[in-house]
Structure 1
């Protein structure tokens, strides 16, 4: 089934180690795509397939594009609203792998708490409000390029400050301090500040996974590792 359907059965999110295994597989798949210069551009739980054996696969590449060099201009009408990064919501058409990494952050949060972290209405302004309410409003000193985005309006929102994920939902406690730190690195407002898929896989959050997980060939499941066998059954 897809991850969205699976989450319907887990209204308070998934168990902590299962979250880690799913996130690692998502990052592993994306790292493979990004190294081939492919952007998925539509990451959301509905587009992730989950087998009975706990294997996660990226699906639905209908909006995927090859990221050429130098960068092309893409439509900002990509990614379902809830998983769309603030730079694209504000009209940026010059994006790269950071677009997908914001989606990873949204999915990471969702499998922790069992619901979307930024469930906006159909209005872009409401979606941005949902994001800024948790992540704070853009800092023009740290992100000067934001001023050039066509839909950026600094006066449209209250002076929100960044808040702890634990204040958003206590379920974030299950991923610990390192998990919350990685989530922060994925959900950076400024696209250049978002961690890459390759960088995220090396984060201390994954330090208790077998080292050999980084040496597996791309076509081999992480559950081929003896240490992970028997841990993939859904709880």
Structure 2
């Protein structure tokens, strides 16, 4: 049966990639059948699969059921899904979405990830909430994102696709980072990786200029974009193309140079762009009401030189989170109508939101 087939395949794949991280769910017994879950409604559809809200009929728990997309696969489970499974199996943190188990359907290509369910995603909230998040609420959200990210980076994992639509929130105000389809484990020395990662609006300048050396700093640039978006109530750098994205960054932060970014001129695509001459950093003009500590944090996250960019640990120690208005407690975050829970909710294609350009 498919239950018997999928378990050893996944186990072998995980053993091959990360031998010490095999979950007992794949070592003991068979994978459960998806028939043990009642699908309530479809809540999203992304590059790597359709996501349903579902009820576990054995426990009555509401979960997110993510069907692994197999449309173009002839040789088994997509590598993106194997990477997501292997990474999520090793991750257990309050601010990281939980992979509970893998279940299967009647056919070899029917594989589902059972994830912890969160009532909201931040992209939908930002588009539908009647009033923007307060600064205290923004700080509460960002502290949780940073704690989850610090945990990831300490475990040598780069997310590589941080954006507001990949941040989920429960009705108890707990924020969880989700969608690990592009995430990678890294080591020393750092191996080359493709620069075509991270949604355009959140993509670091070194990626735009073709670097193949990726570190946790690319996640931290995205964190700066998310923080600025939450504070400004709109995306900070909504580029329509890679060259437009670079131009928006230069308009905001000034023209990069070897003085502030050693190695800049040697990046693969640096010679292909004619950057405007803009000597000023305009973050203070963009956020005239933000405190000095807040501006310092943003500037630290938006350092051109990836080696000088803030780490998640640096951010968590920032005085910005220790000054008034202080971060509110997660349980005091406002609750919202469950847009994702409507049985007739239309599928939302990842990347089609106004805030999630490819």
Q: 1:126 aligns with which of 244, 268, 288?
A: 244
Displacement of 1:192 after TM fit? 0.9
Cross-structure match for 2:333 = 232
Quick check: 152-161 or 56-65, which moved more?
A: 152-161
In structure 1, C-alpha distance between the alignment counterparts of 2:196 and 2:187, rounded to whole Å: 19
CA offsets 1:81-138 (integer angstroms, 9 cap, x no match): 11000011000010200010000000000001111111101x2111100111001111
Quick check: 133-142 or 56-65, which moved more?
A: 133-142
Aligned 8 A contact 1:12 1:112 in 2: no
Q: 1:203 aligns with which of 318, 327, 336?
A: 318
Normalized per residue, the structure richer in strand is 2
In structure 1, C-alpha distance between the alignment counterparts of 2:123 and 2:330, rounded to whole Å: 24
Q: 2:221 aligns with which of 84, 90, 102?
A: 102
Quick check: 4-13 or 108-117, which moved more?
A: 4-13
Cross-structure match for 2:204 = 85
Count of aligned pairs between the two proteins = 215
Structure 2 regions of 5+ residues with no counterpart? 1-119, 337-358
In structure 2, C-alpha distance between the alignment counterparts of 1:82 and 1:89, rounded to whole Å: 11
In structure 2, C-alpha distance between the alignment counterparts of 1:182 and 1:98, rounded to whole Å: 14
Aligned 8 A contact 2:172 2:330 in 1: no
Relative distance call for 1:72 and 1:179 in structure 2 (3 A) is same
CA offsets 1:149-183 (integer angstroms, 9 cap, x no match): 1111386122112333242255xx2x422112101
Cross-structure match for 1:146 = 264
Relative distance call for 1:153 and 1:48 in structure 2 (3 A) is same
Q: 1:178 aligns with which of 286, 293, 298?
A: 293
Q: Which has the higher contact order (CA 8 A, sep 6+)?
A: 1
Aligned 8 A contact 1:39 1:65 in 2: yes
SS in 1 for 2:226: helix
In structure 2, C-alpha distance between the alignment counterparts of 1:205 and 1:60, rounded to whole Å: 28
Relative distance call for 1:11 and 1:106 in structure 2 (3 A) is farther
Displacement of 1:13 after TM fit? 4.3
Normalized per residue, the structure richer in helix is 1
Aligned 8 A contact 1:13 1:110 in 2: no
SS in 1 for 2:225: helix
Cross-structure match for 2:309 = 194
Q: 2:285 aligns with which of 147, 167, 191?
A: 167
In structure 2, C-alpha distance between the alignment counterparts of 1:25 and 1:61, rounded to whole Å: 17
In structure 1, C-alpha distance between the alignment counterparts of 2:217 and 2:146, rounded to whole Å: 13
Give TM-score scaled by structure 2 length: 0.57
Aligned 8 A contact 1:43 1:104 in 2: yes
Cross-structure match for 1:135 = 253
Aligned 8 A contact 1:83 1:102 in 2: yes
Give TM-score scaled by structure 1 length: 0.85
